Structure 1
Amino acid sequence: MDMLNRLLIIIQEQSLSTYIVGGATIIVSYLILVHMLRFRYIHALRRKYPDPTLPLRDARVAEEVFDTTFRYDFPSLGRLSLELALFKTYSVPTISKLLVATGEFSKNAAKRAEDTGLILSEMVDPYAHIEIEKRKQSNVDIDKIEAEQRGRAKTAIERLNEIHGKYDILNGDYLYTLSLFIRQPIQWINRYGWRKLDPLEENAIFRIWYDIGTQMKIKDIPESLDAMNAFHLQYMHENVRYSPSNWKVAQPTVEHLLSIYPRFLHGLVYKVLPALLDPLDVQGFGLTPASKSITRMVDNGLLLQAWIVRHLKLPRFKPTLRTPTKPDKNTNRYKVLFDIYKPVYPDGYCIHELGPDKFKPAKCPIAH
């Protein structure tokens, strides 16, 4: 009996050690795989386009690089940075007063946010849509796909221009908003991303939004990233200041963003918010600056997330995209591929209908 017991103990010990070695091997193999694949997209772009200034001269290259950066490597951080960019425009009184005067910000904040997000997505998503359709089948009419998807982007910009044309918006405010769409993602990704952006990517971001700005007929757009940054800083220091209208516009947006968090966290989010803003924006909204401990907590939390993504998560193998390539066959409307907040368009949307209801056409004028 003693002999049998000793034999069972030996078998159990060997099995346990085998499990430990096997488990450790799997973990190490996974970490090695992450290390090998994590930089695959940026390495491929650098090999393909060794000249980082090429996106400034070639819009198609800019689209490809932009798509890789925001659809594969930094979709979540890119989206959050653009949400923050929009939010920061409200600390300019000439912008916030106009928005208050429209009456739209006292209404459905969720619809307003979704309309803005979808219009912006439709403007920057044509390259991603085209590539997805090209991968679906080898025998494909590329010219037809190009015309269809770029037509959507054109329609989105026309819709945005139509809405903006109803109001007297300062060209400087247009430019400041455009500068935030360029500057904020670059700042946030370089600070809180799992890697810093390559100059190739920064130039692509500038080119994409520069072209959109010209299609929006914005005047005097700075011709380089450095010039855009210089304009941004000057305009911010001259125009961001306190006004009651600033927070009147901002608060409904914050409440909308909080809708995905449990109620008990709302108070904490309000304390965290100033840590995400520039000091001038904090003053402009009339907020109390975040304490040093809150600021450190936010900073370290975002940096920890970046470390986890870099070392523990495999890269995405499919693009992160909310807009579909084709309308729904039953409704003939575009249905978002995933919702971040409560669905606003469960039956789908028409680009011409996005925006304030008072400017909505009687029916979608385009047969998709």
Structure 2
Amino acid sequence: MSIHTSLAASLRRQLSASPDDWEATFRSMVLFDLAADMELGFFLSYYRNFAIPSIASTLHANGEIQQRPMKRSYDTAIVIYELIANGLDSDRGRDMIALLNRVHRNVPGSKDDFLYVLLTLLVVPIRWSRRHAWRQPTPAELAAASRFFTELGSRMNIDGMPETYADAEQFFDRYEAAHVAPSIEGQHLMDATIQVFQSRLPRPLRAFAGQIISVMLDDGRLVSALGLPRATWLSRTTLKGGLAIRNATRRRRPLEQKPHFTPGKAVSSLYPNGYSLGQIGPINVPHSPAARNNELP
């Protein structure tokens, strides 16, 4: 199979995917076809919560992000990737959903607050991929992503999930229009978390971490709420050019054979030798015995 046939075959599979195969379709999207861009989208979705004063106040009062910003950031990503890679009803998936429910059991917030937090993980990565990925998400992928988060929301007792991706975008935009605003708590959370992004950048770029995030967010209202520096024409042009070169290169390579995420394997310097599910999550939230012992062979 040639390089171009490989990419074309992948696209055909994702275009013609059955609605019944929503979990496999979304898994392929996140771990193979659009892996790098979906990861960046998940990363950006994490910051948006800090721009909602009520949510930022709750997160700030908890103290977990300020005290362990790297662990909180990577654990949040691990949970969502565990769910995608293994499936919502797998043993590891059920352990991660149980952890999410324990973590959020006594968290204050309105129904719309919880719905918004969940929908950041749907809307933000897809919007980023639509604007910047090497190809557009397919209609089947949009439907599969929406179904995945609807099912996750049901398992987390979050009611009112939009029926379609378009409905999710409408709720998301209405909520942000009504609630995005600066807050001291949100800016403290942003200041604590930006070091995680800096650690992933080449050393010469670390001083520009805030401006790089601003360019990626591409939303002046959000940038102001988070206390980030304004993006410049040069930084926007650099990002656009860099992504264009990356995408041109990507289209000339075969689809990756290894998934973007492998459960239990090493993750940055936080879990250099891999992790067990019992290590994931806030240190003051107990895990089930199954999660403490749930290690991959």
- TM > 0.5 fold call: yes
- TM-aligned CA deviation for residue 294 of structure 1: 1.3
Superposition pairs for residues 152-171 of structure 1, below 5 Å?
152-171=92-111
Range moving further from structure 2, 198-207 or 37-46: 37-46
- TM-aligned CA deviation for residue 362 of structure 1: 9.5
Match of 2:269 among 335, 342, 351: 342
- TM-aligned CA deviation for residue 202 of structure 1: 0.8
Q: Is the 8 A contact 1:282 1:288 kept in 2?
A: yes
Range moving further from structure 2, 211-220 or 312-321: 312-321
- TM-aligned CA deviation for residue 46 of structure 1: 3.4
Match of 2:8 in 1: 39
Which one has the largest radius of gyration? 1
Assess, with a 3 A threshold, how the Cα gap between structure 1 residues 162 and 153 changes in structure 2: closer, same or farther. Answer: same
Q: Distance in 2 between matches of 1:212 and 1:360?
A: 21
- TM-aligned CA deviation for residue 107 of structure 1: 0.9
Superposition pairs for residues 127-276 of structure 1, below 5 Å?
127=87, 150-276=90-216
Q: Distance in 2 between matches of 1:354 and 1:230?
A: 33
- Structure 1 gap ranges (5+): 1-31, 128-145, 324-334
SS in 2 for 1:259: helix
SS in 2 for 1:257: helix
The amino acid across from 2:123 in the alignment is: R
Superposition pairs for residues 271-290 of structure 1, below 5 Å?
271-277=211-217, 278-290=219-231
Q: Distance in 2 between matches of 1:42 and 1:64?
A: 14
Q: Is the 8 A contact 1:354 1:360 kept in 2?
A: no
Match of 1:79 in 2: 39
Q: Is the 8 A contact 2:14 2:138 kept in 1?
A: no
Q: TM-score, normalised by structure 2?
A: 0.91
Coordinate RMSD, CA, aligned: 2.2
Q: Is the 8 A contact 1:41 1:68 kept in 2?
A: no
Assess, with a 3 A threshold, how the Cα gap between structure 1 residues 203 and 106 changes in structure 2: closer, same or farther. Answer: same
- The count of residues paired between Structure 1 and Structure 2 equals 293
Q: Is the 8 A contact 1:45 1:65 kept in 2?
A: yes
The amino acid across from 1:251 in the alignment is: D
Q: Is the 8 A contact 2:183 2:225 kept in 1?
A: yes
Q: Distance in 2 between matches of 1:262 and 1:176?
A: 33
**Given the alignment of the two structures, is residue 105 of structure 1 paired with residue 74 of structure 2, yes or no?**
no
- Structure 2 gap ranges (5+): none
- TM-aligned CA deviation for residue 84 of structure 1: 0.7
Assess, with a 3 A threshold, how the Cα gap between structure 1 residues 304 and 35 changes in structure 2: closer, same or farther. Answer: same
Q: Distance in 1 between matches of 2:11 and 2:288?
A: 46
